Amino acid sequence: MNSMLNTLRRIVQEVNRAGTLHDGLEIIVSRIKSALEVDVCSVYIHEEESGELVLLATDGLLPAAVGRVRIPVTEGLVGWVAERAEPINIAGSSNHPRYRYFPETGEEQYEIFLGVPIIHHRQLLGVLTLQQFEGRFSEEVESFLITIASQLAGAIAHAEVSGGARKGRGEPFGRRVVVGRAGAPGIAVGRAVVVDTECKLSNIVDQPAENIKKEVALFRSALKQVKKELTKMSSSLEGQIPEDERALFDAYRMMLDGRSFNQEVIEQIKAGSWAPGALRKVVEHHVDVFRQMEDPYLQERANDILDLGRRLLKALVPCESDSEKLPKNIILVAVDVSAAMLAEMPVRRLRGIVSLRGSGNSHTAILARALNIPAVLGVDELPISMIANRELVVDGDSGEVHLKPSAKLKKEIRARRQVEEEINTELESIRDLPVVTLDGKKIELFVNSGLASDIRRNPDAAGVGLYRTEFPFMARDRFPGEDEQYHIYRNVLQTYAPLPVTMRTLDIGGDKALPYFPIEEDNPFLGWRGIRFTLDHPEIFLVQIRAMLRANAGIGNLRIMLPMISDINELKAARVLIDQAYSEVVGESYDSIERADIGVMIEVPSAVYQVDLIAQQCDFLSVGSNDLTQYLLAVDRNNPRVAEIYDSFHPAVLQALKLISLAGKKHKKPVSICGEMAGDPISAVILLGLGYEQLSMNASSLLKVKQFILEVDSKKNKRWVNSLLDVGDPVEVYVTIQRRFS
């Protein structure tokens, strides 16, 4: 069992590292054939244009058949596997009615057949087959093949997207275009700056050396740099750690001075590998040798080799960005782009963002939209370690990242930019108009804010509907003190006075981590988030509220908003603390101070069902539709795999939104919406129909939403939206909306 699992892992790892589609498929067929000791293993890739399955690699059939055998999905046993999307395990295959003979394969001798479909995100990518001269494939072999096909699907999909399957041999394995989730709109061209906080050798893929001499020189210079670092570290630790531990550095140096290790890497480069790939292969070989040794001391040395390998890798591929060397047009690329990473980049040179993790509803995407920087998230198959310094195109509308942008694409980009400029000019013309519907209903548009760069007052907003206080917390290396917070908040309140500014208390947890307060949880979105965290840390909550109240002195436009309320007692407990902070501040330094309205974010299903009670105990409500959608539909907003089913138009979400707006009206409490829905023009029109008259959104959406509102007849729209509420099927809702706006 374990050995099967190890074999599986090894094959998947090797395939993921393959430099080309051809290499990847060759590895698949040869490793599976030898692991299962079968006569033939082949892989057919589904070509979308022709609908045919093309034999792209085989170990066992005649090599001349590769690329030549093409089977329509409606024909042959391979086609049958594809058509049924199920495994087929038969003996006596030539007697089967679906059997079709391809003389160029030489397969007539193999009567035993097992085929499994390769499926990725419900789409057929190809078929993996085994053939045998005699006997029958066991259930265990069948399960193994199903497992490996499902694990390889991601890597193969990647190659498919790149067009690699069609072009066949020599085409980079999935490196032309990769597709993720659209995060922030717009298109950007720039050079990749990879912030690889993990900097792992195992992430390094195989890639041919473009210039062998250059790669050797790079490796030699990395060697020199690491030797220097080791000497420096060893002497700075002299007298501070025991001598035998310090000897480790000498051992490392000796290893780097010795010819064997270096020579092995150089030989790998001379055999055609790029330097990081060569280093990975040699380190892995040595690690394997040490790990297999009997002596536990020698086994431990494997870790030293790994450590040394990591140091050399860091010198070869800088894992952290050095601001001096940053290009003029930066595309920030990282496994998980965080607010802290963004804070470290010169924003004026930042053109695009690519994150391997996350989705269109992640906070990184929200941040990118606020900064107006095109972003693509959830590109989990991007070979991050080999794109540093490459020219990339980030298409934040389609979710594509182009790894080798053609001249034609760049021309298209210029044309798209021109269209965008024209749209912006058109939007300028409505800037001074009041925000009213065709039939004269007044709507208030607010801005979502929280970034240090947002200090200028937005002329298109009626105030700040959501100030995310966690952003200034995230861009620091410790909790900001009361005075520090006071200055930040005062600045925002003054900037917008007398317009209202809604400040949300610290909302960390989920996908918002503070670098200095990591929270490790299995289910972070169901864990210690928002108000749950701050009520458990009253010292942090009180300092924040005190800073807000002090900042409001003499201005009076502050509104305090509580995130993630799921229980009426949380609201009560927060109010007690706010009262305490108020009396403290007044007692200490002010005769009197303006009281702030206290609002509750409705973003958890339990709050929807208690919205009547909540509305009675607070001054205003604001819907966090980002979280409300995630919790109502049980779909992680940060997970690209389920991004398709994250749907704010889902009937359940629409019903909940209606309930909330009715409760606000009933208790005469203002209700706004500050989730991303509010900033999407079509969603905004639907929200109007649901009774929302205050919408808060990213600065870049304000005029776009306004343009739609100016065209709406609010009465007709209300009738239409109410009829939509009777539709139970989310697809039908979507189609009805599409029809209305197309």
**Interface contacts to ligand PEP, rule CB under 6 A:** 366, 466, 468, 507, 603, 624-627, 674-675
Please say which residue, 59 or 507, places its beta carbon nearer to ligand PEP: 507
The answer to whether the beta carbons of residues 435 and 444 sit under 8 Å apart is yes
Which value, to the nearest 10 degrees, does the dihedral of the CA atoms of residues 688, 690, 693, 698 take?
-70
Nearer to Mg ion by C-beta: 26 or 511?
511
Kindly state the smallest distance separating residue 119's Cβ from ligand PEP, in Å.
Answer: 33
Closest to ligand PEP by CB, 208 or 691: 691
Tell me which of 624, 640, 664, 679 binds Mg ion, using CB under 5 A. Answer: 624
How far apart (Å, rounded) are the C-alpha atoms in residues 99 and 92?
A: 10
d(CA 278, CA 347): 36
Amino acid residing at 227:
K
The item of ligand PEP, Mg ion, none sharing an interface with residue 335, based on CB under 5 to 8 Å by kind, is: none
Distance in Å, CB of 441 to ligand PEP, minimum: 24
CB of 626 to Mg ion, least distance (A): 5
52: partner contacted, choices ligand PEP, Mg ion, none (Cβ within 5-8 A by kind): none
Q: Quick one: what does residue 675 bind among ligand PEP, Mg ion, none, with the CB cut-off 5 to 8 Å set by partner type? A: ligand PEP
Per the document, the length of the chain is 742
Among 363, 402, 618, 650, the active-site one is 363
Q: Which is nearer to ligand PEP, 199 or 657 (CB)?
A: 657
> Catalytic residue at 363?
yes
The listed partner (ligand PEP, Mg ion, none) that binds 468, CB under 5 to 8 Å by sort, is ligand PEP
Adjacency order of strands within the sheet including 391-395: 177-179, 400-402, 391-395, 187-195, 330-334, 350-355, 375-377, 181-184
Alpha carbons 538 and 548: distance in angstroms, whole number: 15
**Smallest distance, ligand PEP to C-beta of residue 135, A:** 58
**What does the alpha-carbon distance between residue 272 and residue 278 come to, in Å, rounded to a whole number?**
9
Residue 508: CB minimum distance to Mg ion, A: 11
316 binds, among ligand PEP, Mg ion, none (CB under 5 to 8 A by kind): none
DSSP 47-110: ETTTTEEEEEEEESS-GGGTTT-EEETTSHHHHHHHHHTS-EEES-GGGSTT----GGGTGGG-
Q: Are 178 and 403 in contact (CB under 8 A)?
A: yes
Q: Which is nearer to ligand PEP, 395 or 511 (CB)?
A: 511
Q: Tell me the angle at which helices 625-633 and 651-666 cross, rounded to the nearest 10 degrees.
A: 130
Q: What is the DSSP string of 528-587?
A: S-HHHHHHH-HHHHHHHHHHHHHHHTTT--EEEEE-S--SHHHHHHHHHHHHHHHHHHHH
**Taking the CB of residue 451, how many other CB atoms lie within 10 A of it?**
20
Judged by beta carbon distances under 5 to 8 A according to partner kind, the member of Mg ion, ligand PEP, none in contact with residue 674 is ligand PEP
> Counting Cβ atoms within 10 Å, is residue 622 exposed (0-12), middle (13-18) or buried (19+)?
buried
Please tell me whether residue 627 binds Mg ion under the rule CB under 5 A.
yes
What minimum distance in Å lies between the beta carbon of 510 and ligand PEP? 7
The pair of structure tokens assigned to 690 is: 């649901």
The residue (of 277 and 675) whose beta carbon lies closer to ligand PEP is 675
Catalytic residue, from 41, 199, 319, 674: name it: 674
Q: 588 Cβ partners below 8 Å, 6+ apart? A: none
Active site residue 674: yes
Neighbours of 728 (CB within 10 A): 10
For Mg ion, give the closer residue by CB, 460 or 627.
Answer: 627
CA-CA-CA-CA torsion sign (496, 498, 504, 505): positive
Give the residue among 361, 651, 682, 392 at the shortest CA–CA distance from 511: 361
The nearest distance, CB 361 to ligand PEP, in angstroms, is 8
Smallest gap from Cβ 627 to ligand PEP, in A, equals: 3
Of 543 and 604, nearer to ligand PEP (C-beta) is: 604
SS3 assignment, position 515: coil
Task: For the segment 589-608, give every residue that binds Mg ion (CB under 5 A).
Answer: 603
Binding site for Mg ion (CB under 5 A): 603, 624, 627
Residues forming the active site: 363, 674
